[in-house]
Amino acid sequence: MANICIFDAYGTLFDVMSAARMLANEKAYDKFSKYSEKVSNTWRIKQLEYTWLRNIMDDYLDFWQITKDGLDFALEESQIQNTQLRNRLLDLYWNLSAYSEARDVLIALKSNNIRTGILSNGSRDMLDSAVKSANLNDNLDVVLSIDKIKIYKPDPKVYQMVLDHFNCTKGDVLFISSNGWDISGASKFGFKTLWVNRNFNPQDRLNFKPWKIVNNLSAIPSIVKELNE
């Protein structure tokens, strides 16, 4: 039985590519449209890489600074030197779009007495802003940030935060993420995992696999209901 659903934030509930898309649609930055996809993809890749590398090197830096560093790399790669554009992208990152089905899914889970939460590498300020902007506050029991322990996923200490907060067992938790590496980390920790594979990517060549795979969040309430019957 799983009576707690824990979601990753970036890429799972919130669309990390939406900042660049929103900027490309603003008239003042319409020339950015031809770079937006490349910049967005590199930004995300470097953001993730820097968390892993800083874990390995035991050189913690908060996620907001890592996010800025990833963007600076991405802009330099595309030979974009525009401080105003950079600052606008960073402003938009505080208000990323939630995926269209996210709020309804959380409401459905709460209506079935499932406790819900976020477990994220994001800084607490970033997460609070994203949750508020997406109007998800009332549908989450907790937002857990690694700020508290200053180490990034997929370190097992991060997943332990869920057990410590809810005073529960691993079997009580369904962990949901769009990131294959995060799913592997949570699976190794002992959580039942659900991979939201929106882009139909191949599975990572890692030993720990997802329990179930979906391509969006919509099926989660019915999956949880079936799991608990």
As annotated, the active-site residues are: 8
Helices (H), 94-173: 102-111, 124-133, 156-166
Q: Is residue 220 within 8 Å of 204, Cβ to Cβ?
A: no
Rounded distance, CA 209 to CA 121, Å? 21
Residue 8's contacts (CB-CB under 8 Å, 6 or more residues apart) are 118, 119, 120, 175, 176, 177, 178, 179, 182
